[in-house]
A and B are shown apart, each in its own frame.
Chain A
């Protein structure tokens, strides 16, 4: 039984990470109907920023500031810079194509993804950058219940994930900006006619979604230690899948989708074999999509003909 709970903890932790990235995917799709394939690369940029913040303060083995303060700075800097990068991408790459056929921004998104990946390779080199989290957050810190271990980094990721997802849900459901986001998601033109500043809403959506990806990147760096220019691809793919399974455009759906994929991966690896993880997990997801084509929490859309 303890093995089951260990795998559950591992799966929920990874799932929380997928969920945070999936939220950005889902938000952008919600307001723009754009599959932003560059979103995973924003996760990668966030992870690099976290690494360089650690280096700025003396490196993992000889930090010149307290660890809690370091973590706050890492998250704030990554959220700010990656959020800004997301806004810049929207302004210069996607906005000019807003009224173009949908394939055009899709291809542009893939181009932006390659651009970010190649830029990171040129700027930061091919070598793997390592957080060495265990040098400033002890592996023995955390909770141990029986033989189930939840280390401090996992707790941090779970708490941060919960706080951010709850905060986003409140923002979308209970604030004026959230209401405007939902209005733009339903009908952009109608929202504009009602006096909503659509450009502002879309910019805010990119800012928030990208900031979440940046924070997730730092979390991923702390959890998995390694950063290289290609790490965004696989996380982006999983997050995109999570967003679709949960119901693309649905924020609770993205959260649920992330957790479902994280836990499913963990359980298949634990109880069957890592060799078949992708085969079985994605096979199950195909079944889910066949049964509920709009995703677990997505709503079927009526189309006027």
Chain B
């Protein structure tokens, strides 16, 4: 019932917004067309970029972190480049249908030249077509499914590595370093999680490890029954989840039921202060920027303005920065920014350094070149210690 109402409300909302924005869209388009190719170097570099992320819903904590870092990037880049870029927010709730609605609003708004996001791979699958048809470049800071960069979505880019890198890397670490005879792996029924599990399972099976594959919704917070299933032989529990608080509860339930298996989590579980189970591992597509000296100013600004953060925000900062720089470069070249020339500029991105502690450039499919993953171990004090690769 709730879901249906949301859909109805979203549909009505999108019609209203589409109706409003289509008029502004046409006027802006003609203005852009009239100004296209003319010298704009003396004019202010004005543009809008969209942000798509789960600002509400079960993973709102991650979405708001992403939004905060996008806002921070826009503010810092505007100051550095003397641009007037504004960020337009769109809440996708990590739902493909909602992401499509937001995308329709963005693509019909001619002022929006590029989009940061969406966060989830399933959302990218849903919006990839409409984005391509509108010629809208979009860069995700967290969508990692392999299928996204096989050529179907020519305007899609990402600043994080894909599951086919992270999954095997994590699985090999577990096999070669933790040496389990059996393990439990629990997906959270989202594309992100099931994608990683699919990438890990063949490696576990090839290593002769007995795997108990379980599945729980992100909305579940009671893991006592599942934890009771962890056998003494299962010395590792793999949790490719997005909600750190759930993993903390899983760890607490394990302690309560006297289970000693090591938790191996991914990405969303990087959350110092929330997920603190000693001896656990967390692999992340983003680094801990508080440990990168060059990022001190950004980390300080984010900490001061928004409080503590994990590893979902910094990649979005990087994605936003790529778009900001592309728009700025178009303006500096004397052109009026449009989706086409911003897309072309993004394709030629070549940043020698970034907030992620690595260069950023894209291959012909939109994938980050030489993307890295980072592995951390949680100390008894709850600190995240980087394990050298």
Q: Which of A229, A233, A275 is within 8 Å of B215, CB to CB?
A: A275
Contact present for B274 and A128 (CB under 8 Å)? yes
Contact present for A149 and B252 (CB under 8 Å)? no
CB-defined contacts of A224 to chain B, threshold 8 Å: 221-222, 249
User: Could you say which interface size class chain B belongs to?
Assistant: 35 or more
CB-defined contacts of B63 to chain A, threshold 8 Å: 126
Q: Closest Cβ of chain A: how far from B16's Cβ, in Å?
A: 18
CB-defined contacts of B79 to chain A, threshold 8 Å: none
CB-defined contacts of B1 to chain A, threshold 8 Å: 37, 110
Q: Which of the segments B23-31, B240-248, B294-302, B320-328 contacts the partner chain? A: B240-248
Q: Which of A13, A110, A113, A233 is within 8 Å of B219, CB to CB?
A: A233
Q: Which of the segments A162-170, A262-270, A297-305 contacts the partner chain? A: A262-270
Contact present for A127 and B248 (CB under 8 Å)? no
How long is the Cα–Cα vector from A233 to B218 in the complex, in angstroms? 12
Q: Closest Cβ of chain A: how far from B71's Cβ, in Å?
A: 15
| In the assembled complex, B228 has its CB within 8 A of some CB on chain A | yes
A10-B228, A233-B2, A270-B229 known; A139-B61 Cβ under 8 A: no
CB-defined contacts of A220 to chain B, threshold 8 Å: 221
- A250-278 residues at the B interface, CB under 8 angstroms: 265-267, 269-270, 273-275, 277-278
A149-B256, A151-B256, A231-B221 known; A274-B226 Cβ under 8 A: yes
CB-defined contacts of A294 to chain B, threshold 8 Å: none
CB-defined contacts of B256 to chain A, threshold 8 Å: 139, 149, 151
Contact present for B186 and A234 (CB under 8 Å)? no
CB-defined contacts of B36 to chain A, threshold 8 Å: none
- A221-239 residues at the B interface, CB under 8 angstroms: 223-226, 228-231, 233-234
CB-defined contacts of A11 to chain B, threshold 8 Å: 225
| In the assembled complex, B381 has its CB within 8 A of some CB on chain A | no
CB-defined contacts of A228 to chain B, threshold 8 Å: 58, 60-61, 245
How long is the Cα–Cα vector from A92 to B71 in the complex, in angstroms? 39
Q: Closest Cβ of chain A: how far from B303's Cβ, in Å?
A: 14
Contact present for B213 and A230 (CB under 8 Å)? no
How would residues 96 to 118 of chain A score, 1 for a CB under 8 Å from any chain B CB and 0 otherwise? 00000000000000100110001
How long is the Cα–Cα vector from A274 to B219 in the complex, in angstroms? 13
Contact present for A269 and B245 (CB under 8 Å)? no
CB-defined contacts of A118 to chain B, threshold 8 Å: 56
A113-B2, A121-B60, A149-B257 known; A225-B225 Cβ under 8 A: no
| In the assembled complex, B255 has its CB within 8 A of some CB on chain A | yes
- B187-229 residues at the A interface, CB under 8 angstroms: 213-217, 219-222, 224-226, 228-229
Q: Which of B5, B61, B186, B217 is within 8 Å of A127, CB to CB?
A: B61
Contact present for A274 and B186 (CB under 8 Å)? yes
| In the assembled complex, B57 has its CB within 8 A of some CB on chain A | yes
Residue of A nearest to B243 (CB): A128
Contact present for B225 and A234 (CB under 8 Å)? no
Contact present for B215 and A274 (CB under 8 Å)? yes
Q: Closest Cβ of chain B: how far from A180's Cβ, in Å?
A: 31
| In the assembled complex, B102 has its CB within 8 A of some CB on chain A | no
| In the assembled complex, B43 has its CB within 8 A of some CB on chain A | no
Contact present for B215 and A130 (CB under 8 Å)? no
Contact present for A265 and B225 (CB under 8 Å)? yes
Residues of chain B whose beta carbon lies under 8 Å from any beta carbon of chain A: 1-2, 5, 55-58, 60-61, 63-64, 186, 213-217, 219-222, 224-226, 228-229, 243-246, 248-249, 252, 255-258, 274
Closest 3 CB pairs of A and B: A126-B60, A128-B245, A275-B215
A-B contacts, 7 listed (Cβ < 8 Å):
A10-B228, A126-B61, A139-B252, A149-B256, A228-B60, A230-B219, A269-B229
12 other contacts beyond A6-B257, A147-B258, A226-B245, with CB at 8 A cut-off? A3-B228, A14-B225, A114-B5, A127-B64, A128-B245, A224-B222, A226-B246, A228-B58, A231-B221, A269-B226, A275-B214, A278-B217
Residues of chain A whose beta carbon lies under 8 Å from any beta carbon of chain B: 3, 6-7, 10-11, 13-14, 37, 110, 113-114, 118, 121, 125-128, 130, 133-134, 139, 147, 149, 151, 220, 223-226, 228-231, 233-234, 265-267, 269-270, 273-275, 277-278
